[in-house]
């Protein structure tokens, strides 16, 4: 699901506080509250963006349930597209009027991960730190006199947001924002997990656990990579038609079997898949995904956000025989470099985004959007 806002961008607001609507989460396990918030002007090396469209991602819901620990009150949202309203001093990569995608994994270009060709998880990201503040340690949001925390340096469930210059990518001015917002997280995360992290090869076999927007994007990545067999796994069989439309060759519901799902997949493939992907964020499915890949050269990728304070236990023999277990954040893409290219690929029709968009709602119906997510719709 995603949201659209229709207010035109007003460039005369530069340097001033903007009052606008935002969905504020005051505490865990409560609905969002639509509030009027004040959004401060961007400071040095910061960019203020008019959010035109934002998607709902399961990672936002993980904050509500406490599986991803963040401070409250907070403005969630991290998958969006918008238009630059104003820029702070020293900003050179974007200007007012540019179409942009905020980046929850920034690219500072200076840290070890940014400088290494194999890395993409910039040290400036808020993921794992749960600070909820801009890089200078302050917030740009106020509501009812209270400071409101940022989420992953993006906070897109608001009509205006402020991000650091390292956390925004300029994109094609012709791109439809209500579609390419998905490149800000869900699509890129899944597609890249297959192409960048696993590096799926032509003719290989793959298993994808979890068929939400990210899992379906993994399926698309495996298909583009030329996988000969893509087995989609979900306990909700309603997801299977779309998975097949996007490239899945087989669909399996673990509820249909009285044996562990990894055994089912092992038997289906004659000894396990070449690549498996866990796109849910559950410990049991992470170990199942590892166990279902080929014992000697199989690769399993963790794509779903693991829940806080939970530990995993597994038989180390699973790895000793040669399997690889990897994680992938934002599909392994270096964000600032990759996002404009992914948008360009979308414009060239190299992949589709429409099947990933099931509902379009106004921001005021955000709670209904989350209900749709939680009920698997």
| 129: confidence class by pLDDT, cuts 50, 70, 90 | confident
Q: d(Cα 178, Cα 51) in Å, to the nearest integer?
A: 10
Catalytic residue numbers? Answer: 57, 59, 62, 78, 185
Beta strand residue intervals within the chain, DSSP E: 2-4, 18-24, 33-39, 46-55, 80-87, 99-102, 141-143, 146-148, 160-164, 168-170, 205-209, 229-233, 250-252, 275-278, 299-302, 324-327, 360-361
Give the residue carrying structure tokens 């209900």.
371
**What is the overall mean pLDDT for the chain?**
95
Q: d(Cα 143, Cα 166) in Å, to the nearest integer?
A: 26
For residue 90, count other CB atoms closer than 10 A to its CB: 10
- Give the CB-side neighbour count of residue 113, counting CA atoms within 13 A: 16
The pair of structure tokens assigned to 208 is 């994808």
Strand arrangement of the beta sheet that strand 275-278 belongs to = 250-252, 229-233, 205-209, 275-278, 299-302, 324-327
Crossing angle of the two packed helices 261-269 and 283-291, in degrees rounded to 10: 20
For residue 268, count other CB atoms closer than 10 A to its CB: 16
For 17-40, write each residue's pLDDT tens digit: 999 999 999 999 999 999 999 999
For 145-171, write each residue's pLDDT tens digit: 999 999 999 999 999 999 999 999 999
List of residues 6+ apart from 356 with CB closer than 8 A = 182, 186, 187, 213, 216, 217
| 263: confidence class by pLDDT, cuts 50, 70, 90 | very high
Cβ(44)–Cβ(25) below 8 Å? no
- Map out the domains of the chain with their CATH numbers: 2-35+54-168+357-375 (3.90.180.10), 187-331 (3.40.50.720)
pLDDT at residue 310, rounded to an integer: 86
Torsion angle of the four alpha carbons 368, 241, 208, 252, in this order, in degrees rounded to the nearest 10: 110
Q: Is the pLDDT of residue 123 over 70?
A: yes
Q: d(Cα 52, Cα 5) in Å, to the nearest integer?
A: 5
pLDDT at residue 40, rounded to an integer: 98
Of the listed ranges 6-10, 55-59, 253-257, 271-275, the one predicted with least confidence: 6-10
Cβ(85)–Cβ(9) below 8 Å? yes
Crossing angle of the two packed helices 366-374 and 58-65, in degrees rounded to 10: 90
CA angle 149–155–157, rounded 5-degree value:
115
For 53-103, write each residue's pLDDT tens digit: 999 999 999 999 998 899 999 999 999 999 999 999 999 999 999 999 999
pLDDT at residue 140, rounded to an integer: 98
Q: Is the pLDDT of residue 215 over 60?
A: yes
Q: How many helices (H) and strands (E) does the chain have?
A: 11, 17
């Amino acid at each position: 699901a995603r949201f659209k806002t229709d207010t035109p961008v007003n460039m005369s607001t530069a340097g001033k506080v903007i009052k606008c609507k935002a969905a504020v989460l005051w505490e865990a396990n409560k609905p969002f509250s639509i509030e009027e918030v004040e959004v401060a002007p961007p400071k040095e090396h910061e960019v203020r963006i008019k959010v035109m469209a934002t998607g709902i991602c399961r990672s936002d819901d993980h904050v509500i349930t406490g599986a991803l620990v963040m401070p409250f009150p907070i403005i969630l949202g991290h998958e969006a597209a918008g238009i630059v309203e104003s820029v702070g001093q020293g900003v050179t990569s974007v200007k007012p009027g540019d179409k942009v995608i905020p980046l929850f994994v920034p690219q500072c270009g200076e840290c070890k991960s940014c400088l290494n060709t194999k890395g993409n998880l910039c040290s400036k990201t808020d993921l794992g730190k749960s600070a909820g503040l801009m890089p200078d340690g302050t917030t740009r949001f106020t509501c009812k006199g209270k400071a409101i925390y940022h989420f992953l340096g993006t906070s897109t469930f608001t009509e205006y947001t402020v991000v650091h210059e390292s956390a925004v990518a300029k994109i094609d001015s012709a791109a439809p924002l209500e579609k390419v917002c998905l490149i800000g997280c869900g699509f890129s995360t899944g597609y890249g997990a297959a192409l960048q992290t696993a590096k799926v090869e032509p003719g290989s076999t793959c298993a994808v656990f979890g068929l939400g927007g990210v899992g379906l994007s993994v399926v698309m990545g495996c298909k583009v990579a030329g996988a000969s067999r893509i087995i989609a796994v979900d306990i909700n069989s309603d997801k299977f038609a779309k998975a097949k439309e996007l490239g899945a060759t087989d669909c399996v519901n673990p509820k249909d079997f009285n044996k562990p799902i990894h055994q089912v997949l092992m038997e289906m493939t004659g000894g396990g898949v070449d690549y498996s992907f866990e796109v849910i964020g559950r410990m049991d499915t992470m170990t199942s995904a590892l166990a279902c890949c080929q014992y000697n050269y199989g690769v399993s990728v963790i794509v779903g956000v693991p829940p806080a304070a939970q530990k995993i236990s597994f038989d180390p023999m699973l790895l000793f025989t040669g399997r690889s277990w990897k994680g992938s954040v934002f599909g392994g893409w270096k964000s600032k470099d990759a996002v404009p290219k992914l948008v360009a690929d979308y414009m060239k029709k190299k992949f589709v985004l429409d099947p990933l968009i099931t509902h379009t709602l106004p921001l005021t119906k955000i709670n209904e959007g989350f209900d749709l997510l939680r009920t698997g719709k």
